[in-house]
Amino acid sequence: MEAPENRAGRMNIVITGHVDHGKSTLIGRFLADTHSLPEGKLEEVKDSCRKNGRAFEYAFLLDALVDEQSQGITIDSARVFFKSKVREYIIIDAPGHIEFLRNMLSGASRAEAAILVIDAVEGVAENSRRHGLLLSLLGVTQVLVAVNKMDLAAYDRGVFERIKSEYEQYLSKLGVSPAAFVPVSAREGKNITSPAPEMPWYTGKTVLEILDGFEPLVSNEDAFFAMPVQDVYRFSGDNDERRIYAGTVVSGVVYSGDAVSFLPSGKTARIKSVEAWNAPPKFSAFAGEAAGFTLDEEIYVKPGEVMVKKAEQDFFNERGGFVSSGDRIRANVIWLGVRPFSVEKSYLLKLGGAKVDARLECIERFLGDEPEDSTETRQALSRHECGGVILQFSRPIALSSFYDNACLGRFVIVDGFDAAGGGIVLDNLSAQKAWESLAGLEGLDGGGFDGFDGFDGFEEELFALLKKYFPHRFASN
């Protein structure tokens, strides 16, 4: 079977900013200036504005939602598409209102790059800071800051430089280094797809040129294989005795005949067949595909476990990290719930297909403007606060560092019936304990690891691979 369509020519970007700073207008401009609208759409919207006695605005091109039309705010993370000469873009228009930050969380988590929009007249707003922080938490590192409405600031360079200085200083605290700050007027189409003669003092690239220079993320097909088990199906009719382990492949590729393991149970088997609904027989499954598998032996696996290649799991393949089981993690969390995220309460955590009870063990640090010593007296995150925390689970689940596998490294926290927070996994502390146990073996602690005296052939190969792919664990004192 051939691999799915190559997505190298497509990029997901999130456009975010405070309410009324001009996100929707910017997106409308992208659609119009790159000729990405359906034929006649622009004229249709302009004609509708004339009939209703309204001045045309490019933001109206996005007014597809009833709530948006009636309230004048973008409520859902809407997806729109446009093309440049370099690639296709999927734009996630993330809400700017504080009340809808949950929607932005779900939108930004799929983004490869981001445009942060700031009003030149209003300046850096509360949500401008929160959105920068959220993108930092979600690992979005390719960031462009568009200082919008420069036409209302008379294209004043001083206004632009003051905003740039203030916001650049704030983002640097978060470890975010924007690719560029661009002075723009989305309404007038200045510095969006073509240079603005009104701002000769700006000699940098346009917004579109900078976007075209961003690098797409490495394809999940090139990473280790992982598939959270969504369900296990058993058919009883027509003498069909197959037990099918179904889910969506989040990374890598697997083939019929491959040996697989399930985490956290550790059960192993070999793939007998790759199944697809109403499709010809298959011999492989790639990242992004929904697939089912039969195994050479029937084993009991619960939904929420993660299927991995046994060979990759054993030898921690070099293409992108590994999945491990753990019940204690270090994570970055943003809290959006009405009630505080407290050490005194248990919550439901959802990661991949797994659901597990979780408790906040401690807050190691606050992220943002919180004083550094505030963790000494605080045992909760309030609404809209972010922090580096330790979480303890009621049982082990399969997970990965967000930077090794985003799909298995991000999670949602449920308080009661509400999705109240989200975050990313930084470290599996349970796995670190295992490493500390390995370090207790002769030669691994203190002076570094020099040889394999006392080990058999398998152990020699295993520790050689460990040392190759995780040299920091074997560093000499």
Whether pTM exceeds 0.85: no
Least reliable range by pLDDT among 316-325, 326-335, 406-415: 316-325
Ramachandran area for residue 191 (φ above 0: left; ψ -120 to 50: alpha; else beta)? left
**Helix, strand, coil in percent for the chain, rounding step 5:** 25, 30, 40
| pLDDT, mean of residues 451-477 | 47
264 three-class SS: coil
pLDDT at 36: 78
Minimal CA–CA distance to 114: which of 99, 136, 130, 97? 136
**Residue in the block written with tokens 């399969």:** 398
Least reliable range by pLDDT among 96-110, 229-243, 358-372, 446-460: 446-460
Minimal CA–CA distance to 376: which of 367, 386, 389, 363? 363
pLDDT at 315: 64
Report the DSSP pairing between strands 324-335 and 306-309.
unpaired
- pLDDT higher than threshold 90 for residue 355: yes
Q: Judge whether 363 and 328 are in contact, CB under 8 Å.
A: no
- pLDDT higher than threshold 80 for residue 9: no
Q: Where are the beta strands (DSSP E) in 28-160?
A: 78-83, 88-93, 113-119, 143-148
Whole-angstrom distance, CA of residue 207 vs CA of residue 183? 9
- The values of phi and psi at residue 42, to 5°, are -60, -45
Q: Judge whether 243 and 236 are in contact, CB under 8 Å.
A: no
Q: Domains (ranges, CATH) in the chain?
A: 10-213 (3.40.50.300), 221-315 (2.40.30.10), 324-432 (2.40.30.10), 440-474 (no CATH)
pLDDT at 102: 52
| pLDDT, mean of residues 65-84 | 52
Whole-angstrom distance, CA of residue 304 vs CA of residue 290? 15
Better-predicted residue by pLDDT, 304 or 404 = 304
pLDDT at 434: 52
- pLDDT higher than threshold 90 for residue 413: yes
Least reliable range by pLDDT among 201-205, 241-245, 314-318, 473-477: 473-477
- pLDDT higher than threshold 80 for residue 351: yes
Least reliable range by pLDDT among 81-85, 266-270, 448-452: 448-452
pLDDT at 48: 82
Least reliable range by pLDDT among 20-24, 84-88, 148-152, 394-398: 20-24
Ramachandran area for residue 378 (φ above 0: left; ψ -120 to 50: alpha; else beta)? beta
- pLDDT higher than threshold 90 for residue 378: no
Least reliable range by pLDDT among 49-53, 263-267, 372-376: 372-376
DSSP assignment, residue 313?
H
How does the average pLDDT of the chain come out, rounded?
Answer: 79
- pLDDT higher than threshold 50 for residue 453: no
Better-predicted residue by pLDDT, 441 or 279 = 279
Minimal CA–CA distance to 355: which of 366, 364, 347? 347
Report the DSSP pairing between strands 386-399 and 268-275.
unpaired
Better-predicted residue by pLDDT, 167 or 110 = 167
pLDDT at 432: 61
| Alpha-carbon distances of 292 from 2, 84, 281, 407, 454, rounded to whole Å | 18, 37, 11, 19, 43
Q: Judge whether 52 and 46 are in contact, CB under 8 Å.
A: no
- The DSSP bridge partners found for residue 332 are 388, 424
Better-predicted residue by pLDDT, 432 or 313 = 313
State the CB neighbour count (10 A cutoff) for residue 395: 10
- The DSSP bridge partners found for residue 346 are 359
The full DSSP string for 337-401 is -SS-EETTSEEEEEETTEEEEEEEEEEEEEESSS-GGGGGT--EE-TT-EEEEEEEEEEEEEE--
Q: Which amino acid appears at position 58 of this protein?
A: Y
- pLDDT higher than threshold 90 for residue 204: yes
| Alpha-carbon distances of 229 from 290, 291, 350, rounded to whole Å | 11, 10, 14
Q: Which two tokens stand for residue 467?
A: 């040392």
Element containing residue 261 per DSSP (H, E) = strand 259-263
Whole-angstrom distance, CA of residue 463 vs CA of residue 469? 10
DSSP assignment, residue 69?
H
Least reliable range by pLDDT among 88-102, 358-372, 447-461: 447-461
At 104, the pLDDT band (50, 70, 90 cuts) reads very low
Whole-angstrom distance, CA of residue 188 vs CA of residue 149? 9
Q: What is the pLDDT of residues 113-138, one digit of tens each?
A: 899 999 999 999 888 887 887 777 77
* CA trace torsion 153, 158, 163, 168 (10° rounding): 150
- pLDDT higher than threshold 80 for residue 278: no
pLDDT at 237: 63
Share of the chain above pLDDT 70, in %: 75
| pLDDT, mean of residues 329-335 | 90
pLDDT at 145: 96
Element containing residue 262 per DSSP (H, E) = strand 259-263
Better-predicted residue by pLDDT, 106 or 67 = 106
User: For the purposes of burial, counting CB atoms within 10 Å of the CB of 57, is it exposed (0-12), middle (13-18) or buried (19 or more)?
Assistant: middle
How many residues are present in the chain?
477
pLDDT at 236: 65
State the CB neighbour count (10 A cutoff) for residue 450: 8
Whole-angstrom distance, CA of residue 336 vs CA of residue 382? 8
